[in-house]
């Protein structure tokens, strides 16, 4: 099968977990977001709102959320103060989803030399999320709470457009639901309105190809496993 330019952008997308400090221009970011805004949405509602964090604004948010993450580690009861506004993951895991989740988690940790039960290293690796994996650009995505669940479907298409368009500029991304529980810190920090909820975050920049973590690529099941052909 001949791979098109679009195919190459999609298949080369990965969740990068280490970035260089090479800057990304505002012009490039604006172009990416303009292209991504062509994503479809129900009755053209375009529910996305984007906050771009760079420099001191990004650094201060990293400091705040890492401190909260450390505090929860020291006192797990504090986790009750940090709740996602919508259920990203199921309340009860079942196969095959729990199997894929475990494969993903232990595959990454094994690559990084993090053993089962090594809570200190796990905590530090998880906290890499709250540093945007050192990417120079952090993105926060919100939408108005008044919108319905269908707007999250629309949002997914918008996010994918950003990630695919980024590949066209030689950039990489990492979409991050890990931020979602810290909305009470993030939303006032970015100046989001009281009627907005956090959808997710995203790291964006140039991947550090020298870091072993960026050799981690998650598998996909074959088409035959998720497709039903109806004649």
* Contacts of 222 by beta carbon, 8 Å cutoff, 6+ apart: none
The mean pLDDT of 3-30, rounded to a whole number, is 96
State the pLDDT at residue 178: 98
pLDDT at 94: 98
Over residues 26-81, the pLDDT tens digits come to 999 999 999 999 999 999 999 999 999 999 999 999 999 999 999 999 999 999 99
Q: What is the pLDDT of residue 2?
A: 78
* Amino acid 1: pLDDT: 66
Tell me, what's the pLDDT at 197? 97
Structural domains of the chain ordered from first start:
7-86+129-218 (3.40.109.10)
Question: pLDDT averaged over the chain?
Answer: 97
- Span 205-225, average pLDDT: 97
CB 225 within 8 A of CB 195: no
Q: What is the DSSP string of 12-75?
A: H--B---B------HHHHHHHHHHHTTS--GGG----EEEEE-HHHHHHHHHHHHHHHHHHHH-
Output the pLDDT for position 3.
85
pLDDT in tens, 126-159: 999 999 999 999 999 999 999 999 999 999 999 9
pLDDT in tens, 68-121: 999 999 999 999 999 999 999 999 999 999 999 999 999 999 999 999 889 999
pTM given for the model: 0.96
Angstrom distance (rounded) from CA 18 to CA 136 = 11
């Amino acid at each position: 099968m001949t791979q098109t330019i679009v195919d190459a952008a999609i298949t080369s997308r990965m969740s990068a977990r280490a970035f260089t400090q090479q800057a990304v221009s505002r012009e490039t970011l604006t172009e990416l977001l303009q292209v991504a805004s062509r994503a479809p949405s129900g009755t053209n509602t375009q529910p996305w709102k984007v906050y771009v964090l760079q420099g001191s604004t990004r650094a201060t948010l990293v400091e705040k959320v890492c401190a909260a993450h450390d505090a929860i580690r020291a006192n797990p009861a504090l986790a009750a103060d940090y709740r996602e506004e919508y259920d990203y993951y199921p309340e009860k895991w079942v196969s095959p989803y729990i199997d894929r989740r475990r494969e993903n988690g232990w595959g990454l940790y094994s690559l990084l030399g993090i053993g089962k039960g090594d809570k200190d290293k796990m905590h530090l690796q998880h906290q890499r999320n709250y540093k945007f994996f050192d990417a120079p650009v952090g993105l926060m995505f919100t939408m108005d709470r008044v919108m319905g669940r269908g707007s999250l479907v629309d949002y997914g298409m918008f996010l994918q457009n950003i990630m695919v368009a980024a590949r066209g500029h030689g950039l990489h991304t990492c979409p991050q639901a890990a931020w979602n529980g810290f909305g009470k810190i993030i939303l006032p920090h970015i100046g989001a309105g009281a009627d907005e909820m956090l959808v997710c975050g995203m790291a964006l920049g140039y991947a550090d190809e020298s870091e072993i973590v960026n050799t981690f690529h998650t598998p996909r099941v074959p088409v035959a496993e998720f497709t039903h052909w109806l004649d």
